[in-house]
Structure 1
Amino acid sequence: MNDAIKPSTIKGNILSAGGWIAGTLSFTDRVSGIDGAAADPGSNGDDYILPGFIDLHVHGGAGRDVMQGGDAVHAIAAIHARHGTTSILATTMTAPPEDIDVALAAIGQAVRQRGKGEARVLGAHLEGPYINSGKLGAQPNFARAATLAEVQRLETLAPLRVITVAPEIAGHLALVRELAGEGVRVQIGHTLGSYEDGVAALEHGAAGFTHLFNAMSPLHHREPGMVGAALAHAQYAELIPDLLHVHPGAIKTALRAIPRLYCVTDSTSATGMPDGEYMLGRHTVHKCMGGVRLPDGTLAGSTLTLDQALRNLVGLGLDLADASARVSTHAADYLGLEERGRLAPGTWADIVVLGRDLQLKAVYIEGERIDLNDA
């Protein structure tokens, strides 16, 4: 127990690991107890108490970008905490080696020391540079093939929890098998690969797909593409539910096809900021009308936060428990985090409290109450 955190209680409709309970949640830095009775939260007007949100694809926020290094990741972790995100993977861009080193060194420091008011940084999502230069999306063109030696060197700078690769690049299938054997979650993304390439990558140990539908070969009934491989075979995939990156109908298709589809923000430095110009790695991007784009109009990440993602999912027809799992539990399970993404005795006290309108009322990270005033 952290002696600096006093015992606390919250009352309401608790989404426990076993289902809804109307009662009291007790915690310090970890959940100590859940007391009450099973109940339909629709039978009363009390607040909702959910597991804290987990975002496995975060590039920035508050005007800061992960690739800046230094204290940028701390500012990013703080703004996302104020929107209910209690854990993140700080996500890199395709860039020259020296830029990636700077970013990962800062991420490694943030992993070792969570600052006051910040989401827990679990490690890095290395989104580039091991992608196809023909499917960059908003990534700068520094794509290159991966080597195991380089990945192992980068791992000394920060824990690489997720790595995005284009499996059709020569040598990458063998690398997928090596990395999967070391416990790294390898995702398929920024790829021109075929359906068959996707199936082969899954057979070699790939575990998921990066921002499903975006920056990958699309579904066609005679050429199913990488989207088809995901819909036919994936257990996990990440998706950006800002309603700009993916049409609601496509989101519903993925929800029916992929059992543990989970949501990410792909958020940029423009998150939480007014319209204007911001940096995404070495790119200048423009925020306008809720979207972030390159000068040519290409979508370049988002300004989404996971509290809004939850509301979007409910707006699409998901019940609150299912929506909660897709911004929390499934991501935790994907990384093998048994003590996050759920509320049960002994789990970390990562908690969000929502009013009946699904607006945030309180956030706790490892028992610390977060100041929401700047949200």
Structure 2
Amino acid sequence: MTVRVSGKVVTPTGVIRQGCVELDGDRITAVAEYPSIRDGHWIVPGFVDIHTHGGGGHTFTTGDADAARSAAAFHLGHGTTTLLASLVSSPYQLMRDATEAYAPLVKEGVLAGVHYEGPYLSAVRCGAQNPDFLRDPSVDELSELLALGGGTVRMVTLAPELPGALAAIELLVSHRVVAAIGHTDATYEQTGAGIIAGATVATHLFNGMRGPHHREPGPVFALLGSPNVVCELVADGVHLHQGALAFAAGVAGPDRAALITDAMAAAGMPDGGYELGGQPVVVSDGVVRLAGVDGTPGAIAGSTLTMDAALRHTLAAGVSIVDACRMAATTPARAIGLGERVGSLTPGLRADLVVLDDNLNVVRVMRAGTWLDR
């Protein structure tokens, strides 16, 4: 049975002001202009978040399948129809347990895969990652985890300057797993070596990286300048100044800039104390930081962002709604190899869409042709 959703339809190439998305079952069958339709709500593609640790009081970082299901449901309510469950730096056994626990959720479609953010990260740039769990990349360890997951693991973040990192990147790429560069103190040249080895994503660009300098451009310039790298951007007004967001989006363009939340369990929850990767964190005015031993706030520890809010921040930075939607859906989907399934309002793709009011607040969410009951 054909279903029609009408309004101001945002496609990868423009806005159809009097538009309609037609779908049959779980697939989009047509996107077209309908002159009889008057301006309605915005119809945008379902968001694709390739980096999130939890939300709604639930976390992905402990390997609990029930908590993962609840966290995914929270973000679905904010328009995220495709999502990777991101771990933080963890002991090997926890990585095994989480991979096993989340494999059924990936097969079910609740999750699009698992993202290991660590533990193969720089101690100098670890940010809120637990330093007790950091270690050099291990091809043997990764090989066991990839075999255990059977396609569950979709992305791994590592620092390319560490011993064994380039071999690890080559292993990941050979298994069709995305290698991402992040939490790194690499030089420009070391970052370039990681890109040559096959890394194609920059984990939350600027954050957790050696800062750029005109005599030592470091990883930021190398990643922004590479035509093969998609740069994650945390558009929450905390991780990035709006000027930095606009600059990075302008340099990378919508085909290489991907909005992420980097959210943790406190997203959608009150301020207060939480936990991330075995470390206490404190949320104040919606900003997450490590709890300092002397009461002084520590490093930024994820966010309380949702993808609909990220879209609003990006528009406020001067990015057009067409480009912002590509950054929130089309580009991240392509970055993790799902661009032919989800990420845009295009015939043949899964019927994932978000209805937004004129203030870009979520009115309704559809995933795979089914409306979410709010």
* TM-score of the superposed pair, with normalisation by structure 2: 0.92
What's the offset of the Cα at 1:218? 0.7
Indicate the residue corresponding to 2:212 in structure 1. Answer: 219
Indicate the residue corresponding to 2:316 in structure 1. Answer: 315
Indicate the residue corresponding to 1:57 in structure 2. Answer: 51
**Helix, strand or coil for the counterpart of 2:112?**
strand
What's the offset of the Cα at 1:134? 2.0
Decide whether the 8 Å contact of 1:67 with 1:93 is kept in 2. Answer: yes
Q: Does 1:295 align with 2:286?
A: no
Indicate the residue corresponding to 2:100 in structure 1. Answer: 105
Q: Does 1:344 align with 2:334?
A: no
Decide whether the 8 Å contact of 2:79 with 2:307 is kept in 1. Answer: yes
Select which of 35, 47, 57 maps to 2:32. Answer: 35
1:163-242 equivalences under 5 Å are 163-234=156-227, 235-242=229-236
Q: Could you tell me which runs of 5 or more consecutive residues in structure 1 were left unpaired when the two chains were aligned.
A: 1-5, 115-119
Indicate the residue corresponding to 1:117 in structure 2. Answer: none
The 3 A distance-change label for structure 1 pair 78 and 157 is farther
Q: Residue by residue, what CA displacement relative to the aligned partner does 1:198-224 show, whole Å, maximum 9, x if unpaired?
A: 111111111121110011111011111
Q: Does 1:128 align with 2:123?
A: no
Q: Residue by residue, what CA displacement relative to the aligned partner does 1:92-121 show, whole Å, maximum 9, x if unpaired?
A: 11011122222222221211224xxxxx41
Alpha-carbon distance in 1 for matches of 2:240, 2:33? 39
Alpha-carbon distance in 2 for matches of 1:286, 1:240? 19
**Helix, strand or coil for the counterpart of 2:263?**
coil
Indicate the residue corresponding to 2:306 in structure 1. Answer: 305
Indicate the residue corresponding to 1:75 in structure 2. Answer: 70
**Helix, strand or coil for the counterpart of 1:327?**
helix
Query: Which amino acid in the other structure matches residue 117 of structure 2?
Result: E
What's the offset of the Cα at 1:37? 5.2
Q: Does 1:92 align with 2:59?
A: no
The 3 A distance-change label for structure 1 pair 96 and 245 is same
Q: Residue by residue, what CA displacement relative to the aligned partner does 1:40-66 show, whole Å, maximum 9, x if unpaired?
A: x9xx64211111000000101111111
Query: Which amino acid in the other structure matches residue 262 of structure 1?
Result: A
What's the offset of the Cα at 1:34? 2.4
Q: Which moved more, 1:230-239 or 1:300-309?
A: 230-239
What's the offset of the Cα at 1:38? 9.0
Decide whether the 8 Å contact of 2:288 with 2:301 is kept in 1. Answer: yes
What's the offset of the Cα at 1:7? 4.5
Decide whether the 8 Å contact of 2:159 with 2:181 is kept in 1. Answer: yes
Alpha-carbon distance in 1 for matches of 2:93, 2:272? 28
1:317-336 equivalences under 5 Å are 317-336=318-337
Select which of 235, 239, 249 maps to 1:255. Answer: 249
Q: Residue by residue, what CA displacement relative to the aligned partner does 1:207-262 show, whole Å, maximum 9, x if unpaired?
A: 12111001111101111111121222254111111110111121122112213111
Select which of 2, 8, 11 maps to 1:13. Answer: 8
Decide whether the 8 Å contact of 1:195 with 1:228 is kept in 2. Answer: yes
What's the offset of the Cα at 1:25? 1.5
Indicate the residue corresponding to 1:147 in structure 2. Answer: 138
Decide whether the 8 Å contact of 1:91 with 1:126 is kept in 2. Answer: yes
**Helix, strand or coil for the counterpart of 1:328?**
helix
Query: Which amino acid in the other structure matches residue 305 of structure 1?
Result: T
What's the offset of the Cα at 1:17? 4.4
Q: Could you tell me which runs of 5 or more consecutive residues in structure 2 were left unpaired when the two chains were aligned.
A: none
Query: Which amino acid in the other structure matches residue 105 of structure 2?
Result: A
* TM-score of the superposed pair, with normalisation by structure 1: 0.91
Number of residue pairs matched? 359
Indicate the residue corresponding to 1:353 in structure 2. Answer: 355
What's the offset of the Cα at 1:145? 1.4
Query: Which amino acid in the other structure matches residue 47 of structure 1?
Result: H
Query: Which amino acid in the other structure matches residue 43 of structure 2?
Result: I
Query: Which amino acid in the other structure matches residue 222 of structure 2?
Result: A
What is the identity percentage for the equivalent residue pairs of Structure 1 and Structure 2?
38
Q: Residue by residue, what CA displacement relative to the aligned partner does 1:266-315 show, whole Å, maximum 9, x if unpaired?
A: 00000111111112121111111010111132110000000000000111
